[in-house]
Chains A and B, each alone.
Chain A
Amino acid sequence: MVRIGIVGAGYIAGSHAEAYAAHPGAEIVYVVDPVVAKAAALAEQYSAQPLADIDALLASDVEAISVCTPSPTHADVVVAALAAGKHVLCEKPVARTLVDAERIVEAGHRGPGLLMIGHVSRFEPDHRAARDAVLAGRIGEVRMMSQTITGVLPEWSEQAWLEDPDQSGGPLVDLAIHSFDYLTWVCGARPQRVHAVGASRPDGLVDYAIATVCYDNGALAVVETSWAHPAGHGMELSTELSGSAGRITWDYAGTAVGSVKRAGALPRAISQLGNRGFVAEIDAFLEAVETGGPSPVPAEEGLLALEIALAAVESLRTRRTVYLPCRETESS
């Protein structure tokens, strides 16, 4: 049994906890959150113990930790957890800033534990099937990609930190990061430059944006992201991968296996996706912990997705195309 600690007891922690609970080889032992009631509520659900601060968790005998705190706190928690000898699954985005992300990458290199970034899209069954088809050569070489993920403003964040651009970066950083990571993973090329357009709320939060990404092999991608879509529809996703010899497309509306229409209510889709992405992500994490790696999603790749997102944010400010920092390829 791998003993698990979950840091942060918000919305995404619930998804992690559910997936650990479904895993026969894991046991949630502690849940940490400065909001004691939130830690207690989540802990109680899984017969774990709530803790008010992370030091007690790091001093405990848990072997692996899920970091599910607001993005600006990731670096301190991940660095401390790795230094304390824990394995770490860090929620996406890897961090809010490149400086923090680089600290996390370095800590991952130092180890000794395993560090994985929770880019759950890679583990979602629909996304995984599309990438498998690409790897099988079904559409030739990937040339043009698009992904749109739109929804209503999330209402679950503690003290509305997601609505604070300094903390979350808005949907370009917090939500579109899924697309930036997934499309980069699918096409296997290096993102080279980015530009973006966006719309701001009166308080300055860019809650709708479209980013264009060019890869070093010439492939193009366009990503639409939104926390501005009207409530009542749930998250909508559609993806298109165009290759030299074919095309893969899917969307949530088209892949829902059923629908419910009740008198006087909005229609509701029956999807089979459920929590399968998180279950697969946590399976991969625990298997890597057991086998000693490699990390299913290295921190470098989380950093790369963040670089795309921050370049898009920068482009909104400068109104220019923004080139990604050129990094030397890691030699193994």
Chain B
Amino acid sequence: MIDVVLLGCEHLPHARSYAGALQRSHGGRLVGVHDGSPEFGGPLAEELDVAFDADAARLIDQFRPAAAVVCSATARHRELVDLAASHGVHVLCEKPLATTVADAAAMVATCRERDVQLHTAFVSRFYPSILQARDLIARGELGRVRGMVGGNRGRPPLAPRYPSWITEAEAAGGGALIDHSVHVLDAMRFVTGLEAEEVLAETATLFVDADVEDSALVSVVFAGDVPASIDPSWSVTPDTPWDYDFYLRLLGTDGSLTISTGRESLHVSGRYGERTHALQPFEPDIDQAMVEAFLQSVAAGRVLDPCATGEDGLRAVEVACAAYASVEREQFVPTAGGNG
């Protein structure tokens, strides 16, 4: 049984979901919750029936866990990951890994030095359809990859469901672009094995009153001049009968592939607050699958497939930061130079 602490719960819906997955798991258990704010973290710990400590180091010293899940505001990921690593604690870190390339790279380096696993919470890899797509591409069924379009749109993460930091540039690293593009970028890398080389994005605030962008279109050129486009927008309006989507279309020399995970749902006509139509999804629980794979990796002493590593998280942050730089420059920006 692997003891796990939750470090930071400002990414509340995900913190709650991962905590629930830990409580259901037979491979590990949640033993404590930390958050900088007792008003915020205390009630969650109580709800989960585990200890709370506003001092993360003290929580780790008290429980000596083997693993931690970091779900703080993104700008604080580095501090908490470094702390866990310095105690020899393996980490599953919420995405995006960091708000800057420098932070993400430092986290990867620290965890390597301390010989602890760093996982990035790219849950999309755990969709059975995405795994199938990867295997099918690897077998060469579609020939050489020639282009991709993907998206991950969601409802704007506004209060009361979300804390306010997620729409603050400093704490979150930006808006919808960094929040959602990292999932799609990672899925594209994961499925094709290709690395992003250049990026050019457009951003806009079109749906909500926020200081950060709620909409973006990110054009990416992968190795071998493979074009791609990502829609990470918070463009799901209140009346839309679904909350979020995840899709990937891929063209190869010998065929094409389309995945749209939201199709795995029932259409229900009925009363849903203001709405009369909603989708009732019956997707597999990818959060549970990711948490189990993290625990199995900790038990095995190595990162197991298909878990995303810190490097995978870093690659996605590089692309997101280069995308922001490209908005100003209005030209393709190399992904490695995005933050410098």
Contacts and interface: CB of A to CB of B under 8 A. Distances in A.
Question: Real complex partners, A and B?
Answer: yes
Interface of A: 139-140, 143-144, 146, 148, 150, 193, 195-200, 208-210, 212, 214, 218-220, 222, 224, 226, 228-230, 242-247, 318-321
A184 B254 CA distance: 33
A148 B248 CA distance: 13
B331 A321 contact: yes
A214 to B, nearest CB: 6
Contacts of A140: 237
Nearest to A140: B237
A222 B146 contact: no
B202 A198 contact: no
Contacts of B239: 245-247
A210 B146 contact: no
B331 A212 contact: no
A167 to B, nearest CB: 23
B249 interface: yes
A230 B254 contact: yes
B330 A320 contact: yes
Most buried by A among B202, B225, B240, B254: B202
A224 B198 CA distance: 19
Contact of B249 (A148, A196, A200, A319): A148
Interface in B218-276: 219-221, 225-229, 231, 233, 235-237, 239-240, 249, 251, 254-256
A193 B219 CA distance: 14
What 8 pairs across the A-B complex have the smallest Cβ distances? A197-B227, A321-B330, A143-B206, A320-B331, A210-B229, A199-B146, A212-B217, A319-B332
Nearest to B237: A246
A212 B204 contact: no
B40 interface: no
B227 A210 contact: yes
A212 B219 CA distance: 8
Nearest to B198: A319
B207 A244 contact: yes
A31 B330 CA distance: 48
Contact of A220 (B204, B220, B330): B204
B251 A208 contact: yes
B238 to A, nearest CB: 8
B157 interface: no
Given A224-B149, A247-B237, A199 B225 contact: yes
A244 to B, nearest CB: 7
A47 to B, nearest CB: 42
Given A197-B220, A210-B229, A228-B147, 6 more contacts: A197-B147, A209-B227, A218-B204, A244-B207, A246-B239, A247-B240
B335 interface: no
B215 interface: yes
A252 to B, nearest CB: 12
A210 B147 contact: yes
B274 to A, nearest CB: 11
A140 B60 CA distance: 51
B229 to A, nearest CB: 4
B251 A228 contact: yes
B158 to A, nearest CB: 15
Contacts, number: 111
A144 B215 contact: yes
Contacts of B15: none
A249 B260 CA distance: 14
Interface in B162-219: 198, 200, 202, 204, 206-207, 215, 217, 219
A212 B229 contact: yes
A199 B229 CA distance: 13
A208 B202 contact: no
8 contacts: A197-B219, A199-B146, A199-B227, A209-B227, A226-B251, A244-B237, A245-B239, A247-B240
A144 B205 CA distance: 11
Given A229-B251, A246-B240, A319-B332, A144 B256 contact: no
Contact of B227 (A198, A220, A244): A198
A148 to B, nearest CB: 7
B233 A144 contact: yes
Nearest to B258: A236
Nearest to A141: B206
Contacts of A229: 251, 256
A35 B292 CA distance: 68
A229 B112 CA distance: 43
Nearest to B239: A246
Contacts of A224: 149, 229, 249
B237 A220 contact: no
B109 to A, nearest CB: 32
Nearest to A138: B239
B237 A245 contact: yes
Contact of B202 (A148, A212, A230): A212
Given A197-B229, A199-B227, A220-B217, A208 B331 contact: no
Contacts of B231: 144, 146, 222
A218 B256 CA distance: 32
Nearest to A316: B227
Contacts of B255: 230
Most buried by B among A198, A247, A318: A247
